[in-house]
Amino acid sequence: MAREAEASRILIFGGTGYIGKHMVRASVSLGHPTCIYARPAGPATRPSNLNLRREFHSIGVHIIEGELEEHEKIVAALKKVDIVISALAYPQVLDQLKIIDAIIAAGNIKRFVPSDFGCEEDKIKALPPFEEFLEKKRKIRRAIEAAGIPFTFVTANCFATYFVDVLLHPHDPSDEIVVYGNGEAKAVLNYEEDIGKYTIKVANDPRACNRVVTYRPEPNIISQHQLISLWEEKTGRSFKRVYVPEEDLVKLSQTLPPPENIPVSILHSIFVKGDMMSYEIIEDDLEASRMYAEMQLTTVDQVLDIFLTDPPEPARAAFV
Ligand SMILES: NC(=O)c1ccc[n+]([C@@H]2O[C@H](COP(=O)([O-])OP(=O)(O)OC[C@H]3O[C@@H](n4cnc5c(N)ncnc54)[C@H](OP(=O)(O)O)[C@@H]3O)[C@@H](O)[C@H]2O)c1
């Protein structure tokens, strides 16, 4: 049978990561032969990472162990697949230039989805520490375009569980919740499993070739005030809203040492300026919930229910 008639073969970098694992699971469940390229497991590998490798092994994921510096090994891995997705950690964003070099050398890759998965970096301008972060992601986009590699750039907006944890501190018994700015700016909070599914779908979708796809489902657009009120309704608790004004976030972005100046700049962009909703999505743009209207989504409301019934591990306490 011609390869075109079969499910595409997908290679994921960063597949053991916070968001990457959802892409690996979605890829397998959507029927794609799936492999991950991961650093060799060793004494320093975290138990959660080892557990994921065991889980992946049990569901048929092929694990290729290697470093990002091993050009020939990456080229050999790429030659056996059709689609490449990178969910590498933020500090590794520029290392994706090595993946790009390997894709050029392999010459067979039909789609590359780089590690974006946040704000739409080509449409916003943030405070300098976040701007520096976004500039690295823009550099990768431009390198992919210049190399003529077929791509899909993904604007996934906020990871919902991660940001509910950052904003509401649901594990914290305190009756105070911090509000950044005036609390009215709208953001988009997408459930991590849905981001995984959407990403596998767009990576395979001819409509998304050489396009940006934004994940902005209507039920996931929410302000901090709305999120806190929803949490109050669900918990029956009442929270004192403690405001951090815009000037304080700007000042912190100027005075905190790197990398601590980045999270405050991200909070400023998303929750004070409302950068995720600062541009319109018009008819010609690609938006995931319109492209895959049949896909069952987990709404922000349901994400809060998950925190009440089966609370996930605290995401990144270090964020703020
Ligand atoms: N929109 C949002 O709310 C949001 C939130 C967080 C992150 N993000 C974005 O999502 C993307 C993925 O972030 P993440 O937090 O999911 O990543 P992560 O969990 O921190 O890391 C992903 C993977 O990168 C690999 N990695 C880590 N350090 C490495 C190193 N020194 N050398 C080579 N590989 C290394 C690891 O894979 P192995 O151990 O298998 O090698 C790791 O599992 C990034 O672009 C980030 O900016 C978005």
Which atom of ligand 1 is least distant from the CA of 39?
A: 41
Residue 58 reports pLDDT greater than 70: yes
Which atom of ligand 1 is least distant from the CA of 137?
A: 45
**If pLDDT is split at 50, 70 and 90, which confidence band does 3 have?**
low
Collapsing DSSP to helix, strand or coil, 25 comes out as helix
> In this predicted structure, what is the pLDDT of residue 126?
98
Q: Each residue of 155-209: pLDDT tens digit?
A: 999 999 999 999 999 988 899 999 999 999 999 999 999 999 999 999 999 999 9
Ligand 1 center to 254 CA (angstroms): 26
Residue from 53, 64, 92, 157 whose mutation best tests the ligand 1 pocket (most atoms within 8 A of CB): 92
> CA-CA distance, 27 to 200, in Å (whole number)?
6
Ligand 1 center to 313 CA (angstroms): 17
Q: Looking at residues 283-294, what average pLDDT do you find?
A: 96
> What is the chain's alpha carbon radius of gyration, rounded to the nearest angstrom?
20
Kindly list the catalytic residues: 137
**If pLDDT is split at 50, 70 and 90, which confidence band does 319 have?**
low
Tokens read off for 310: 């089966």
Q: Each residue of 95-150: pLDDT tens digit?
A: 999 999 999 999 999 999 999 999 999 999 999 999 999 999 999 999 999 999 99
Any ligand 1 atom below 6 A from CB of 16 = yes
**Of 149, 64, 66, nearest to 114 (Cα)?**
149
Any ligand 1 atom below 6 A from CB of 271 = no
Tokens read off for 174: 């305190």
Tell me which of 30 and 2 has the higher pLDDT. 30
